[in-house]
Each structure stands twice: as structure tokens, then as C-alpha cells.
Amino acid sequence: MVQTLKFSEVSKHTTTDSCWMILYGKVYDLTTYLKEHPGGRSIILENAGKDASVDYGLVHPVDFLDVLLTPEQMIGHVTMDDDADETVAEKPENQQQTGSEVSSAAAVPPLKSILSLAEIESHAMKQMSPKAISYYVSATDDELTKAMNSQIYRSILLRPRVFVDCTECSLATTILGNKVGLPIFVSPAAAARLAHPVGEAGIAGACSRFEALQIVSQNASLAPEAIVSAGPDAVYGWQLYVLKDRAATERTLAQVRRIPAIRFLVLTLDAPFPGKREADERFKAAEVAAGGPPQAWGTESALTWKKTLDWLSRHTDVPIVLKGILTHEDAYAASLFPAVKGIILSNHGGRALDTAPTPIQVLLEIRKFCPQVLDTIDVLVDGGIKRGTDVVKALALGAKGVGIGRAPLYGLSIGGQEGVERVLEILADETTTAMRLLGVKNVSELNPRHVNTNALTSRLFDGPSGLDEVERELQLQLKL
């Protein structure tokens, strides 16, 4: 029987031994969940004994509670004490409150007058709250990998051809068997409502206009059903983190199976532990529980090739994509598993291991050591894209698609869905221009002869391929 609890009683349960929280009028016992929360226990303890509905709604959809928690963890409804001044938030119907401390923002010029992603980022920094900036912008340690993700494209030269009729130029292509209007996709990024109340629905609407691909973050701030319904003409993938609570992950997979618009799963592997993002940590310093660790990571760190892929295959019928591949050896290994239909070369936007290689370096090493991978599975790159020329360079080297993560969030912050549309429009126009100037009429015509990568030769791995060792290690698993 569900009990009714006084607010004063709930407020007593604020420790690791007994941690209760009010969410939308219900009381949840989160004591056992503290160790499993992917974002660490400190943020839960900070809100223990309180009504955390507003803060929760910034980063999670309401129905995500049904995925994360078991029915037994909902222990009752809350009622206010007779002399209490507190109010309890009701479950929102459209979840439009943001609760973010958005600064007094400078006026944004007409979106059409903004001509580059750099300009969009500059305006976004004047619009977003300190919390959003610290979360979106931060990268690990000295942020070298984040910087290199973009800088490395400057070392690749384009080789234009002449006397080619490029009056007509199409960006349409196919990614994982899905026809899309752009070779540019939106990478998964959490908590879009920190940027704008419309959240991921605004990104979906923008992608729908361009018939583009959006990979929805597992940590989206809106329910997946609400996101895909906002963009009926977009293509969707779903980012998956495997949690230490495997049952919670399986509940997520069951939810995703009921949404036919989600065409594939993206198993994220590039952040088994959190990187040291100093800007984000400084902002969160006040949230760290007294005497506790800064973060207790809730994602599963014990994943292995065959065991994990076999488990995941039992819970989905859609293609599996592995995100976070950063060596040619792992790219080759992925191609040996029939369940894997694609990989995303990604260093988590520089937010995991600093001085890790950039996606372009890994793509070049795949071409050097195991080019057959490009014919076996779809290879996507994610990170560092600032210009259409960057898109063209990645496609010419064999990428099937190019992901952008922060830029859509910046666009969202300055104009909602229209801001994201402007981001995609700028990149699409720049990519089309670059293709025409190269003498290319469609994406499939781009090839390595359109680029000169000699300046990067010394920055590629120069040891033995190691593929024989990869095969030996995996062969036994593949036969089991």
C-alpha cells in the first residue's frame, strides 16, 4: 500500500544510509541507487530530502523515472505539513519549465546574418547559463584533444579538379542503410534543455527539415517519443550507455524497441570512466557531498566484445553501432562481429582521455592498416567539424557521415529550432560549395584523390598493424 508522507519526514532522509527525494509529488527511496547513478551520487545527495522536480526536469524526461527505478523505490506520496511554506511540483504535462539560471542575454542578431559556426558559438556564450557553459564547453585536462579535433583538418589540403559540370550538386547519401538529406548528423549530447526549453525536440525539428540523422542521447532531457514526434522526416539512432544496473539498461532497451523511428543503437564506449573536466568540476564543487568522492560513475566498465554484443543482440533487432573507436585495431575487431554494422570514430569531444587521437587520425590509420573495414561496415566520424571543407575532407577519406555535437546545442541556445536549422544550413551550404569547387556532383564521388594528407604522415601510428594479434584474441570468442 502506498503511504502518504509528511514533507518534514522526507526532509530527514538526506544521507547515504537513507536518501529520499521528492519528484512530481512522489517520494522515492534512492539509497541503493546512489552507487548506480551515472552522474555520480553528489547531485542526488545535494537534493536529498527536497523536492527536486525542477532540477530533474532540466536533464531528464519525466517518464525516465520508470526506466531508472523499480516500482518498489517509489515509497509514497508527499503531503505538506500544516505550517510548511514549501510547495510540491506537479508532474508537468509538457515539461516546458527550465529552472536554469540563464544570464541577462545580449540580443542575438538575425540568424540569417550569422555566417559561421564560430559566430554561432560566440553568440551562444552570451546566451547560456554558467551551468550550461561549464557542461557543454568543458573538456578533459588541458583540452588538447578537443583543440586537435578541429586543428587537424587544417593540415589536410584539398585537390580541386576542373572542367567538371557541377551545376547540380546533391548532399543526399545513405548512412547505415537509411537515406538522409545530409552527410552531416547530430551526435548525441545530453541535457539539451540547458540550452533552450524546447530541448532535443528543437534539434529533431531541424533535422527533419533537412531529412538528417539525429542520434538521441540516452541522457536526453525529453522522452524519446516526444523527440521523434517533433521531427517526422528525420532519421534517428539511439545512444546507449550500459549501466552497472543492467536491469535498468534492459528497461531502456525495451522502451526503445517500441519506437520504430529509431533505426539503430549506438553503444557508447568512449567514456567508461569520467574524464577530468576541470571547468565542469569547478562548477560542481559545491555539489560534492561532504567527505564523498567527486563522482561515483554509474556506467558499466566491465564490457567485453563477445559477451556484451551477444547480450545486446538479445535485446534489440536493429543494427548496432559502436561509438568511441580510436584505434585501427578496434575498428578491425568491430568488423569481425556480424552484429556490428557501423562504428563512430570519436574521443567523446575531448571529454574523456586527453591526448587521445583525433577521429581523422584513426580514419587514416584504418586506410593504412585495414582499408577493408571501410567496405565491411559504415565508418562515421564525430568531433572537430567547424567548416564544410572539414566535412568534405572526412568524406573523401572514407567516412559515411560526419557528426556535430556542440554546434547544434549552441544553435539551440540562440534560436531554438531555428538556431539549429541555421547550424545545419551553414554547414550544408559550405559543404556544397566545397564539393562544387572540387568538381564533385554528389557525395559518392568524393575519394582520397581529392585530398592531400602528407602533412599528417608523421602523426599516424607507425608500428606493426597488430591485426594478427586481434584475430587471435577474438577468434576463440567468435567460436564460442
User: What would the pLDDT profile of 316-370 be if each residue is shown by its tens digit?
Assistant: 999 999 999 999 999 999 999 999 999 999 998 888 888 999 999 999 999 999 9
Q: Is 241 a catalytic residue?
A: yes
Q: Is 66 a catalytic residue?
A: no
Could you say which residues of the chain have pLDDT below 70?
1-2, 38-40, 62-64, 67, 81-105, 272-298, 478-480
Q: Is 348 a catalytic residue?
A: yes
CA 360 – CA 364 distance, rounded (Å):
6
Position 270 scores a pLDDT of 80
Position 103 scores a pLDDT of 45
- CA Rg, the chain, in Å? 23
Position 422 scores a pLDDT of 98
Position 301 scores a pLDDT of 82
Residue 118 half-sphere exposure, CB side, CA atoms within 13 Å?
4
Q: How far is CA 447 from CA 154, 180, 303, 401, in A?
A: 18, 20, 35, 14
Is residue 160 within 8 A of residue 439, CB to CB? The reply is yes
Position 288 scores a pLDDT of 46
Position 87 scores a pLDDT of 52
Position 265 scores a pLDDT of 97
Q: How far is CA 110 from CA 105, 113, 422, in A?
A: 15, 5, 11
User: Which listed residue (37, 123, 348, 450) is catalytic?
Assistant: 348
What b/e string do you get for 356-365 counting C-beta neighbours within 10 Å, with b at 16 or more? bbbbbbbbbb
DSSP H or E stretch at residue 224:
helix 224-230
Position 345 scores a pLDDT of 98
User: Which listed residue (28, 236, 245, 270) is catalytic?
Assistant: 270
User: Which listed residue (28, 33, 236, 241) is catalytic?
Assistant: 241
- Structure letter (DSSP) for residue 289: P
Position 35 scores a pLDDT of 77
Of the candidates 346, 35, 56, which has an alpha carbon nearest to the alpha carbon of residue 26? 56
Cα 468 versus chain centre, distance: 33
Q: Which residue has the cell 542520434?
A: 215
Phi and psi for 83 in degrees, rounded to 5?
-105, 15
Of the candidates 302, 304, 308, 303, which has an alpha carbon nearest to the alpha carbon of residue 320? 308
Could you tell me the pTM of the whole model?
Answer: 0.81
Position 93 scores a pLDDT of 47
Q: Could you read off the pLDDT of 182-222 as tens digits, one per residue?
A: 999 999 998 899 999 999 999 999 999 999 999 999 989 89
